[in-house]
């Protein structure tokens, strides 16, 4: 399947509004109000000096959105959304592989990239692992769900040297004194 990544532009705002409001995003907090999406787009939330967003085009269709954040920080993060009709087809894994290469190439001074998901988002967690990201954090009851429930949040990251070498360096989980 042919996949492309094209940069979001302010001219895409109405397409973004439809994308964000016409789909259910079960692992993303909050509701998507069309006017709020327009306002955030106008304020540069999707494209400014600290953020770049890209459409995931699958066979020419806007199947997903990658938002790369925190360019001013030394550890960028990302948000990935794939439309329900396209989930389970490998787009998420290809998007994470692409964004990892893009960030390490575009930002040569960064040493790592982070991503966070809900504990019960098993598909995204598998994508992180397949893409060379290591689990680094587990935050209990830290992710408010749309149903009002608090879910655990899990953080993953990839180090530049691991990306370059194709290895995964796990954190030292046994570093507690006296443990």
pLDDT digits (tens, 9 = 90+) for 4-29: 999 999 999 999 999 999 988 888 86
Q: What is the mean pLDDT of the chain?
A: 93
- pLDDT at position 47 is 94
The yes-or-no verdict on residue 30 having pLDDT over 90 is: no
The yes-or-no verdict on residue 57 having pLDDT over 90 is: yes
Q: What is the mean pLDDT of residues 65-83?
A: 94
At residue 64 the predicted structure's pLDDT band, cuts being 50, 70 and 90, is very high
Q: What is the mean pLDDT of residues 100-112?
A: 96
Q: What is the mean pLDDT of residues 51-77?
A: 94
**Sheet hosting strand 150-159, strand order edge to edge:** 3-7, 52-58, 61-69, 77-82, 112-118, 150-159, 134-144
The yes-or-no verdict on residue 145 having pLDDT over 90 is: no
Q: Which CATH number fits domain 3-165: 1.20.1260.10, 3.40.50.720, 1.10.3720.10, 3.40.630.30?
A: 3.40.630.30
pLDDT digits (tens, 9 = 90+) for 151-166: 999 999 999 999 999 9
d(CA 65, CA 150): 25
What the block records as the tokens of 115 is 């991503």
At residue 178 the predicted structure's pLDDT band, cuts being 50, 70 and 90, is confident
The yes-or-no verdict on residue 31 having pLDDT over 80 is: no
Burial of residue 50, with CB atoms counted within 10 A of its CB: 0-12 exposed, 13-18 middle, 19 or more buried:
middle
- pLDDT at position 25 is 87
> By the 8 A CB rule, do 106 and 144 touch?
no
């Amino acid at each position: 399947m042919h996949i492309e990544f094209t940069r979001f532009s302010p001219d895409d705002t109405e397409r973004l509004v439809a994308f964000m409001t016409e789909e259910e995003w079960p692992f993303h907090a909050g509701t998507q109000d069309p006017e709020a999406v327009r306002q955030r787009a106008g304020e540069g939330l999707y494209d400014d000096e600290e953020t770049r967003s890209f459409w995931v085009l699958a066979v020419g269709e806007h199947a997903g959105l990658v938002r790369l954040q925190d360019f001013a920080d030394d550890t960028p993060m990302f948000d990935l959304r794939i439309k329900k009709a396209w989930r389970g087809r490998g787009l998420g894994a290809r998007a994470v592989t692409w964004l990892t290469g893009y960030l390490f190439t575009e930002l040569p001074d960064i040493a790592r990239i982070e991503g966070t998901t809900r504990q019960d988002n098993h598909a995204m967690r598998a994508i992180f692992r397949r893409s060379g990201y290591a689990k680094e954090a587990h935050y209990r009851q830290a992710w408010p769900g749309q149903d009002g429930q608090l879910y655990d949040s899990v953080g993953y990251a990839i180090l530049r040297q691991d990306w370059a070498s194709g290895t995964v360096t796990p954190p030292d989980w046994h570093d507690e004194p006296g443990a």
